[in-house]
Amino acid sequence: MAPDQSLFYQPLRTEDGSPTLVHPVFGEAYSSRHGAWMQANELYLKLTQTHLHPSPRVLEIGFGLGMNFRATLENCLQRGVYLEYMSYEAFPVSREILALVEVPLCPQARLIWAEVLANWPLHPQAPLTMEGAWGRLEVRFEDVTAANFPAQWATALYFDPFSPKVNPEPWQLGVLQKLSRAAQQGAQLATYSVSGCFRRDLLAAGFTVQKVPGVGKKAWTVAEHLGSTISLL
């Protein structure tokens, strides 16, 4: 019998009262300790301008516990906007773990999240896809270092792996170059890291880069895709 994953994931109540988990191998929390729900809304949803976009297409690195997806879904439902959300996840948690991490949602978002849980595969291989009047979700269970992203697709890039220190692979220039090709002109990338090396690689991959004040943390990074094909690619 497979070991119960919940024995190894440590629950953590973040400063805004919303829950997250600490990963047993990476040793880091899935979301900010200063507020999991706050980070999903203030950093990923708002700093990418997704909360204002009339037809958002989000490309996420690291579906994790689906916190960013739920915040974005709820906002789009409230605005009556069709959401397209594509997320990549190399080390998915089980359905039981995902179900442990609850946040209060509006009734429609709660139903859609229940459907995500019901459809979450026991042995994730083929992508999880769901579609409705609200939009479309695709979770691809792939390592982003090997994945092919759709070309000129995303209006927003939620760059949310664990930190470069413990999870360096997704932060490489090669991944950023692929994200650059996946982004529409003007697409906004957001991440919690302000690593100098990462910010230089973002510039090299065709983004303008800004350090902005964070909540609970000194700074976050926001980058805008310039839209041209960079000679480095």
Q: Which residues bind ligand SAM (CB under 6 A)?
A: 30-31, 40, 62-68, 88-91, 143-145, 160-162, 167, 169-170
Q: In angstroms, what is the minimal distance from the CB of 88 to ligand SAM?
A: 5
- Smaller CB distance to ligand SAM: residue 28 or 226? 28
Q: What are 182's two structure tokens?
A: 């996946």
C-beta of 44 vs 134, nearer to ligand SAM: 44
Least distance between ligand SAM and beta carbon 76 (Å)? 15
Nearest approach, Cβ of residue 142 and ligand SAM (Å): 7
C-alpha 83/C-alpha 72 separation (Å) is 8
> Of all helices (H) and strands (E), which one includes residue 121?
none
The maximal CA–CA distance of the chain, rounded, in angstroms, is 52
CA atoms within 13 A on the CB side of 205: 24
- C-beta closer to ligand SAM: residue 22 or 226: 22
SS3 labels along 41-95: HHHHHHHCCCCCCCCCEEEEECCCCCHHHHHHHHHHHHHCCCEEEEEECCCCCCH
Min CB(38)–ligand SAM separation in Å = 12
Shorter beta-carbon distance to ligand SAM: residue 31 or 41:
31
